[in-house]
Amino acid sequence: MEIRELAVPGAWVLTPRQFRDERGVFLEQFKASEFEKATGRPLDLKQVNCSVSAAGVLRGIHYTEDPPGQAKYVTCVRGAFLDVVVDLRPGSPSYGRWDSVLLDDVDRRSVFLAEGLGHAILSLADESTVTYLCSLEYSPEFDHEIDALDPALGIDWPRVGLDGRPLTLVRSPKDEAAPPFIPR
């Protein structure tokens, strides 16, 4: 497995080695020893979520107050997403910095984001499916969101899906009403 830190400290992209033969493909999606060696910490699993999205669905930017914070290990098992991680940790030297990774069912990358980081995904194909391994059970009293389209963040969201057709962004009412990012 290849593991590298993103431009946002505390966020990592993990690319598994895939073994193909006439039967299909095998890969190790997560291996605790390699994860801990690269990140310096264990992944304490408390909840697993799965989300299926049509092309153009934009979910986030979501984050959990830290403490307690929620770390996530995100994997696309079908289709494709642009996964965006934003540093929302007060006092962080990289506060407001973001980075993105294409997660799809071809390269089968995963993204790990530590507590205090914001997260958003944009579906690039119909029926795209993502799973989240979470270090904290859903706790609405700690959950927050930031407007993913806020120009102060400057996230360059794709406007074309994998099929080459234009994407129409679709957000939940909660995400549409999310407050703006507040730069320092």
Residue numbers annotated as active site: 62, 132
Cα separation values, 92 from 7, 59, 96, Å: 13, 24, 9
Q: Phi and psi dihedrals of 55, rounded to 5?
A: -55, 135
Q: Phi and psi dihedrals of 127, rounded to 5?
A: 65, 20
Tokens representing 171 are: 């957000």
- Is residue 93 exposed (0-12), middle (13-18) or buried (19+ Cβ within 10 Å)? exposed
